[in-house]
Amino acid sequence: MKKVYFLLAALAGLVFLANTSRVTRAKYGMVVGTPEIRSISGLAFGPDGVLLVGDSKSATVFAIDTKDATANANAQPIEIKNIDQKIATLLGTEAANISIQDIAVNPVSKNIYCAVQSADGTPVLLKISGDKIEAVSTKNVPFSSLALNNAPAEDAKDKRGNAVRVSAISDIGFADGKVLVSGLSGQEFNSTFRSIPFPFANKQEQSTLEIYHAAHGKYETLAPIRTFTTAEIKGKKYLVASYTCTPLVLFPMDELKPGTHVKGRTVAEMGSGNSPIDMVTVSKGGESFLMMSNSSRPVFKVKYKSIEAYQGALTTPVEESFATAGVDFVSLPVTNVIQMDKLDESRMVILQRRSNGSLDLWTSSERYL
């Protein structure tokens, strides 16, 4: 009897060895396991189909190898009407019981990844290819993770013993080998922005920046970044950020260094009573555009050429007319866009609440550029 067990143990050991040898070979220092994702606030893609998941609840960024890395140079336009109802049916519930938190296009395969949350808070990750919607398994997948909290080891508790710390990841992106994460605190009004080298190495390498912009040059604000993208303007790389208070601010990427206090330049104020939702950079015929979706405005289109021109004007001290000045932008005839991401150089995938109430996922054509 003992022998049998011994044999079994030896076999199990072999299996384990085989497993670990595979583990050490996983890309980007990932290990095979099941990431404990508690919420999905933001999705973005890193290199080779690595999906970055911003989890506000556990204050963690997960990098998951989707193994969905077959290049697709010719992405077909997608159109799914009533996508919330279709997803709800797949999840065995009603549309009112779910909300779509974010979408991200895998830049390699062009498949769309979609984060859904049910009313009870359960996060769900889905993949959309063509008109097919399927679950993305996060069981036994290669992944790595990085905790964002520099919070005290033990969270403050209220009288009932609930943690009172309140924070959220407002956006997540990837540029030049770095995972970019903007955050919000529910306690202090400030801007936490992190630039984290990928693959995740050690926790010391993540840097928190204190970045701010000056509205009117007079009243600085550390308002939290709501959404951001990166772009090249006159050969220099910039973080293009939009805020809860005052939109569109540029930060030179090379100035975003750990522990620094970086001042951005406001290039446009795009209206009050509105919050930016998503920003992407697309191009057509050698000209590039910043597209921005909004909570209570149509989609805005800004020519990077105009931003370049305006940047020149801002090298001098801020003028009196600054409040009404700024980069020109065009409002597209597309309203109520809830999520938006770039499909390829000139097209976007758009999640839009139509005027008839239907929530549709569709692909924009070049004619908007």
Partner 1 sequence: MVRLAYISGLTFFVCLFSCRQKTSDQPIAIQWQNEQAVALSIPAAFASDIPDDSVSLLLTLNIAGQQNPVPILGSFERREGGLLFRPMIPFTRGMRYEVRVRGTHAEDFEIPQNNAGNAPNVTVIYPSADTLPENLLKIYLHFDQPMREGMSGRYVKLVRNNRDTIDGAFLDLQPELWNPGRTVLTLWLDPGRIKRDLQPNKRLGAPMQRGTHYRVVVAQAWTDARRKQLAKPYQKAFVTVTKDSLSPQPAQWTLVSPTQATREPLKIDFKEALDHSLLAEVFAIQDNTGAKIPGRWETGPFEKHCSFIPDENWKSGSYQLLIEPRLEDLAGNNLVRPFDRDVSRSSEAVTGKIAVLPFQIK
Please report, as ranges, the residues that interact with partner 1 according to CB under 8 A. Answer: 1, 38-39, 41, 56-58, 89-94, 97-99, 101, 117-122, 124, 134-135, 139, 152, 156-158, 160, 162-170, 184-189, 210, 214-223, 244-246, 261, 269, 271-273, 275, 277, 295, 323
Among residues 71 and 156, whose Cβ is nearest to partner 1?
156
CB of 93 to partner 1, least distance (A): 4
Smaller CB distance to partner 1: residue 70 or 295?
Answer: 295
Query: 3-class DSSP state for residue 143?
Result: strand
CB closer to partner 1 out of 197 and 271: 271
β-strand partners of 266: 249
Shortest Å distance, C-beta 61 to partner 1: 15
- Bridge partner residues of 265 (DSSP): 250
Q: Considering the complex, what minimum distance in angstroms separates the CB of residue 251 from partner 1? A: 17
H helices within the chain, ranges in order? 2-25, 83-90, 304-313
Query: Which among 345, 237, 248 is positioned nearest to 300, based on CA atoms?
Result: 248
Please state the closest distance from residue 42 (CB atom) to partner 1, in A.
9
Shortest CB 295 distance to partner 1, Å: 6
21/140 with CB nearer partner 1 = 140
Q: Which of 242, 300, 314 is nearest to 276 (CA)?
A: 242
∠ CA(77), CA(126), CA(364), 5° rounding? 20
- Residues in contact with 361: Cβ distance below 8 Å, sequence separation at least 6, in sequence order: 78, 79, 80, 83, 103, 112, 128, 349, 350, 351
Fill in the DSSP letter of residue 108.
T
Measured from the CB atom, is 17 or 119 closer to partner 1? 119
Work out how close the CB of 244 gets to partner 1 at its nearest, in angstroms, rounded to a whole number. 6
Residues 6+ apart with CB under 8 A from 153: none
Tokens 């193994």, residue located = 67
Give 53 or 223: the residue with its C-beta nearer to partner 1. Answer: 223
Q: 210 vs 360, which CB is nearer to partner 1? A: 210
For residue 308, the cross-strand partners are none
Q: Least distance from C-beta 109 to partner 1, angstroms?
A: 20
Per residue, the 3-state secondary structure of 304-350, as one string, reads HHHHHHHHHHCCCCCCHHHHCCCCCCEECCCCCEEEEEECCCCCEEE
